[in-house]
Structure 1
Amino acid sequence: MRNQLLPNGLAIFVSLFALTGMVVGQQYDSTTTIDQNYYGDCTADSCDVGAACYADAGLLGRGFIKKSDHAFDDFISPMTNPIFFEDPRNVTEARAIFMNHKVPLAAGSGDVQVYAVQLRARLSENVSLIATKDGYITSSNPLVNDGWADLSAGLKFNLIRDTCNQRLLSGGFTFELPTGEADPLQGNGDGELNLFLTGAKKLGERVHWIAAGGLRLPINSTDESTSSYFSNHFDFQIRKSFYLLAETNWYHWLGAGQDGPLPGIEGLDLINLGNPGVAGNDIVTQAFGVKYKPNGNNEFGFAFEMPLTEREDIIDNRITADWIIRY
């Protein structure tokens, strides 16, 4: 399967161009929605930019943190590749994440658990501050010990927002600071820049599609590897509050580091090992899950993920659970 993938990340950009075309070109009849949005004037039926959604006093009465864009409340957020698969909506939220990551025998076996909280703050109509990586890591794997993860934050910019046809396109960046501890294989290198594009489209009355792709560019390419990713999410709204979801993630390594401890193996989304011999490698994972969204302010999810490719590197399987509290 790996030989069929386009080299050097070209397929990501082909897919992103196709995504942009879908977001720009496809029409949707907003009068057929099965679920009216939860907030009066911030509805898809308004067919405008939703200016009424922004006229609020802000979080805790502080006007610089705005209420989430609730004109797309039919959508749910992606579950997997949680550090990099960014929701295209501009939202103010806290997202608690738990991951149980089973490591293959070739990488030492055992389990790695991650406890993290992501924060997002909508600063204006089209700009959000996003903090996508933090947390504490525990492990029974002999190569990974307990400790704090690196910190990552950045900005997200809305490029296309069409409430009538329920479609979105956003872009942005994050920068990962090497603030973590060495025991959980964090804190190496001089930081990593992530450039991303993410979009969403409602398909018919019950199906939602979200896709995101990006480049991970380490400042020090000796200590860390260079890679790209392309993630897709499809969900089916079986009831107003219940969703079935499927997600696919493709990770492609464009360049290898030189100082990593395990030649030929990389750390997927959570860890950048900087190992030699990984350039040109590909891993594709598939996840299935469920989400419960009782209203526009809460979201609970569960997903099970495993690799589709023969290459596994550090993933045998992964369980992800999250709880989103949204303003």
Structure 2
Amino acid sequence: MTRLRLVGNATLAVMFAAASFATADGRENIASYFDLSDAESVQVAQNTTASPARLVGQTSLVEEFNQQVCFNTPGCCDDACGTGCCDDIACGNACCDAPGCVIPELLLGCFCPTPHCFDDWISPMTNPVFFEDPRTLTELRAIFLQHKVPLAAGGGDVQLYALQIRAALTDRLSLIATKDGYAVSSNPLIRDGWADVSLGLKYNLIRDYKTESLLTTGFTYEMPVGSPRTLQGNGDGEFHLFVTGGTELCCDWHYLSAFGLRLPVDDDAEESSLYWSNHIDYHFGHGFYALTEFNWFHWTESGSATNLGVSGGDLFNLGAQGVAGNDIVTGAFGVKYKPNRLTEIGVAWENPLTERRDVLENRLTVDLILRY
């Protein structure tokens, strides 16, 4: 009976602490809520601080407590900006690393669960093919784009329905599929059809739990398998080399930034360009975020395939003549909601901030992310 009482008290203690964290300190002695003796308090601590090996889909009580406390509580860094949840007594670094892969090997290795640390971050919204989240993630990201084309480029709208896939092969290495989908267009130059497909890898170079900072590098190769009538499938493919990183600012603010190069295999059929994307968000608590983003696109070399005078922005590479040296800056604002650490729902509105618009009049981006 004593053993059953101790186990029951340990379970209730963790559940009560997680539920009352926002109103109570959440890090007070758990035993004080249940009037436990000193010996019983020691036993509770032993039962709730261990993180034993687990099977896929199982979550220990302490891990569930850590996840709920770290995600649901604004300013959980103890009012010391730059010190993240993972340094709290309740959250050791062990809760931040993905457990060993225990599912059958698939493709290049095994797909690991998304690590728990950096759970209060959100993924960027705009420049969706190239602005890569620096975290190691296993997820499906459904994207809908409502893209309005300027009258100078034919006018009309393009709707894109896409699905990105990311799979953590280790706690630092990820497989990423960042471009695919089907486009529906009312623009006279772009017909309905399939987009090209991009596939690559990213590797986490720096991961600092104390400052909640990340630096990641990677590459993708865009395979020219899309529909020519949708202005896809041209050239011999395109390489994308990138560096992306982020950090937490004063507890509830987050900053992400990415720099990348687009290098076509056939530089006559497609142009070369670079970009710099930036994201800032603020967590209001209870999973609600406000965000703003800015993207700078610069074309370094023109193609020779078309004389349309527009390059295609982030979704197309038209191989246009005379676009070298062109610059476009876009700005966006939006909101995201995270009902839990494994789900994100977002919407963002984007407009060019420069006089040059290329093929972008404005764009609505909606995404749904489901993580493992």
Residue identity opposite 1:316 in structure 2: E
Aligned counterpart in structure 2 of residue 182 of structure 1, from 215, 228, 231: 228
**d(CA) in 2 for partners of 1:269 and 1:33?**
39
Aligned residue pairs total 294
Do structure 1's residue 67 and structure 2's residue 136 form an aligned pair? no
The change in CA–CA distance for 1:125 and 1:272 in structure 2 (over 3 A counts) is same
Matched position secondary structure for 1:53: coil
Do structure 1's residue 112 and structure 2's residue 158 form an aligned pair? yes
Aligned counterpart in structure 2 of residue 299 of structure 1, from 344, 355, 361: 344
8 Å Cα contact 1:47/1:163 also seen in 2: no
Do structure 1's residue 150 and structure 2's residue 196 form an aligned pair? yes
**d(CA) in 2 for partners of 1:116 and 1:75?**
23
Do structure 1's residue 32 and structure 2's residue 102 form an aligned pair? no
Aligned counterpart in structure 1 of residue 266 of structure 2, from 216, 220, 224: 220
Gaps of 5+ in 1: 1-27
Match of 2:329 in 1: 284
Residue identity opposite 1:283 in structure 2: I
Deviation per residue, 1:276-307 (Å, 9 max, x gap): 00000000000000000011110000000000
The change in CA–CA distance for 1:108 and 1:51 in structure 2 (over 3 A counts) is closer
Match of 2:169 in 1: 123
Gaps of 5+ in 2: 1-74
Normalized per residue, which structure has more strand? 1
**d(CA) in 1 for partners of 2:324 and 2:127?**
20
8 Å Cα contact 1:305/1:317 also seen in 2: yes
**TM-score for both structures, normalised by structure 2:** 0.75
Deviation per residue, 1:161-191 (Å, 9 max, x gap): 0112110000000000000010110000001
**TM-score for both structures, normalised by structure 1:** 0.85
By how many angstroms is 1:158 displaced? 0.2
**d(CA) in 2 for partners of 1:51 and 1:93?**
17
Match of 1:233 in 2: 279
**d(CA) in 1 for partners of 2:97 and 2:330?**
40
Matched position secondary structure for 1:106: helix
Using CA pairs under 8 Å that are at least 6 residues apart, name the structure with larger relative contact order, 1 or 2.
1
The change in CA–CA distance for 1:29 and 1:243 in structure 2 (over 3 A counts) is closer
**d(CA) in 1 for partners of 2:253 and 2:292?**
11
Do structure 1's residue 82 and structure 2's residue 128 form an aligned pair? yes
**d(CA) in 2 for partners of 1:131 and 1:252?**
24
Q: Percent identity?
A: 54
Q: Which protein is bigger by CA-based radius of gyration?
A: 2
**d(CA) in 2 for partners of 1:29 and 1:116?**
35
**d(CA) in 2 for partners of 1:55 and 1:43?**
19
Matched position secondary structure for 1:183: helix
By how many angstroms is 1:58 displaced? 4.0
By how many angstroms is 1:30 displaced? 3.8
By how many angstroms is 1:51 displaced? 6.9
Q: After the TM superposition, list the runs of 4 or more consecutive aligned residues in structure 1 that deviate by more than 3 angstroms.
A: 28-34, 42-52, 58-63
**d(CA) in 2 for partners of 1:58 and 1:90?**
18
